[in-house]
Amino acid sequence: MDFRKVQFLLSAHAIRQLPDPVCPDVAFAGRSNVGKSSLINRLVDRTNMVKTSSKPGKTQSLNYFLVDEALYLVDLPGYGFAQVSQEIRKSWKGLITEYVENRSTLACVIVIIDLRHELKSLDRELIDWLRYLNKPFLPVYTKADKLSRNNQFKHAAALDAGLTLTPDERIVFSARTGLGLDSLRSRVAACAEAVTISPVEPPLTDPI
């Protein structure tokens, strides 16, 4: 799969606006400002395909990108933001919940976690929820370039313990240096290949 063959497809503010499930979905979730946009941009080898911002809550929809005519990358709204209203947070939570629980072609949720910090309760709750739903997920510990090699191992081990993971169940990543990029691309492609796509039935038409 050529991740460089990518195009923006659409922004969905409601489930009815999602594209037909003709390709697997790989969704990206993470706390606001965790580096989600930078990670996706590095994945597809672009500098500004996904807009980055220092303002929490910038992503307000499910943003779809089509890769190589074979895979949807889905940028989900960040969580843990404090600068948007309770009404907006509730709206986004409902949209994400319905999407994750019901999207039949959801191949994997990439859960992006800042390697520099101790495990946050919202990150643990998201992974616990995905486990409960039996949805495939892949934790990616990002911003590894901000730490020394020794501290990368130390912090990753602490996150592994908090999430009950083994090292082969997650990826240590840096959007700046490309650390973990090949592994991420391989895992995303493997998840996509594991999904069976059912033909979309054409709409019924009245007989002439």
Domain ranges of the chain: 6-193
Report the chain's terminal Cα–Cα distance, integer Å: 43
Tokens found for residue 181: 């990029």
Q: Which of 23, 53, 26 is nearest to 38 (CA)?
A: 53
| CA–CA separation, 3 and 50 (whole Å) | 14
Tokens of 106: 């959801």
How would you write the pLDDT of the chain (208 residues) with one tens digit per residue?
999 999 999 999 999 999 999 999 999 999 888 999 999 999 999 988 887 654 544 556 899 999 999 999 999 988 764 444 455 445 557 888 899 999 999 999 999 999 999 999 989 999 999 999 999 999 999 999 999 999 999 999 999 999 999 999 999 999 999 999 999 999 999 999 998 887 765 555 555 4
State the Cα–Cα distance between residues 19 and 69, nearest whole angstrom. 13
Residue 147 φ/ψ, nearest 5 degrees:
-120, 155
CA distance 190 to 46: 22
Cβ atoms of 39 and 140 closer than 8 Å: yes
SS3 content of the chain, % helix, strand, coil (to 5): 35, 20, 45
For 131-185, the pLDDT digits (tens) are 999 999 999 999 999 999 999 999 999 999 999 999 999 999 999 999 999 999 9
Architecture of domain 6-193 in CATH? 3-Layer(aba) Sandwich (3.40)
Sign of CA dihedral 124, 128, 133, 134: positive
pTM: 0.88
